[in-house]
Amino acid sequence: MMNSLVQAILLGGYYALVACGLAFMFQVMRIINLAHGSLAILSAYLVWEITDALALSPFVSVLMILPIMAIIGLLLQRVILERATKGGELLPVLTTFGLAIVIDNLLFQQFGANTRSLSPYLGDLSWESYEIFGLWIGKLPVIVLITAIVVIGGLDLILRFTPLGRQIRATAFDPDTAGLVGIDARKIAGISAAIAMMTVAISGTALGLRGTFDAYAGGPQLLFAFEATIIGGASSLWGVFLGGIILAIAQSIGALIHPQGFLLGGHFMFLIFLFARIYFNRDVFTLKHWFAKRNKGEITA
């Protein structure tokens, strides 16, 4: 049982790493990017191509694609998302859904249906483990967990203590008012999209290091990211980190109950948090309106 808990926490670190970019983009631009998982797979393929062609370590290759993904994020914001947001709340969702389909099919056309993995380029690191109190803990999952903590912690520090972070938070809260005090909301949105895509590159690399991927692997990654975000709450990056761990623990408990219960356990936990958030938000919304009406004299009870 203890071993299952430890492995779940390590898996939760990966889920948090995948989800942080999705949550960050939603926080800043209020956009649910349904192409998030497909972009992560695109990143994994880019790392695989560079690693295979230049005989480099995947850890070096991911540093090379970070600026590439940042440029993709900036172009995504300027060319697609910026225009889509002018058409209402639903259009960006439909646009990113269509983008995901395009990316998946282009990857399939280029690389076929064969699966790829970055683990063969790691040597012994792909299977080496630490032995701690009788538990065997893989070195690679530990690296992924530490990376998730560093990435989320770095984003949190940027948002809290840097001028750029204050501009991002101001733009997220009210872009029109931010513009009145000299903040270029369009520029900040582009920078935010670039940052989100760099986290996507890291999460795609983590997927390739932990296991295998193919052209259509983006859907499950998006699902895990979305569930971790809902469980932890999109308003807090550390909440997303906790949500990833809770999701992984639920999956592990489901697997202990039934051999096919791994995914079902996670989905069940997601539904619990989803309905809880809908119920409590509805209650808060109702109370706010009740007090407002009472103060206006519309309600006497």
CATH number at residue 249: 1.10.3470
Q: How far, CA to CA in Å, does 8 sit from each of 97, 218, 244, 255?
A: 30, 21, 10, 11
* 291 falls within a domain: no
Residue 288 has pLDDT above 80, yes or no: no
* 271 falls within a domain: no
The residue that leads in pLDDT, 264 or 235, is 264
* 295 falls within a domain: no
* 284 falls within a domain: no
* 23 falls within a domain: yes
pLDDT at residue 284, rounded to an integer: 41
The angle formed by the CA atoms of residues 188, 83 and 97, to the nearest 5 degrees, is 100
Residue 301 has pLDDT above 80, yes or no: no
Structural domains in the chain (count): 1
* 146 falls within a domain: yes
Q: What is the pLDDT of residues 48-57, one digit of tens each?
A: 999 999 989 9
Residue 44 has pLDDT above 70, yes or no: yes
Q: What is the pLDDT of residues 108-124, one digit of tens each?
A: 999 998 999 999 998 88
Q: What is the mean pLDDT of the chain?
A: 87
pLDDT tier, 295 (very low <50, low <70, confident <90, very high otherwise) = low
Domain residues for the domain of 46 are 2-264
Q: How far, CA to CA in Å, does 230 sit from each of 7, 19, 152, 253, 268?
A: 22, 10, 17, 19, 13
pLDDT tier, 285 (very low <50, low <70, confident <90, very high otherwise) = very low
With contact defined as beta carbons under 8 Å apart, do 247 and 266 qualify? yes
Residue 152 has pLDDT above 90, yes or no: yes
pLDDT at residue 297, rounded to an integer: 57
For the record, the structure tokens of 228 come out as 């971790």
Instruction: Give me the sign of the Cα torsion angle 166, 85, 107, 240.
Output: positive
Phi (first) and psi of residue 85, to 5 degrees: -65, -20
pLDDT at residue 286, rounded to an integer: 46
* 278 falls within a domain: no
For the record, the structure tokens of 281 come out as 């938000």
* 230 falls within a domain: yes
CA proximity to 160, closest of 238, 269, 74, 52? 238
Tell me the C-alpha distance between 140 and 137, whole Å: 9
pLDDT tier, 205 (very low <50, low <70, confident <90, very high otherwise) = very high
CA proximity to 10, closest of 2, 155, 208, 24? 2
Q: What type of residue sits at position 129?
A: S
Tell me the C-alpha distance between 214 and 202, whole Å: 17
Q: What is the DSSP letter of 119?
A: G
pLDDT at residue 282, rounded to an integer: 52
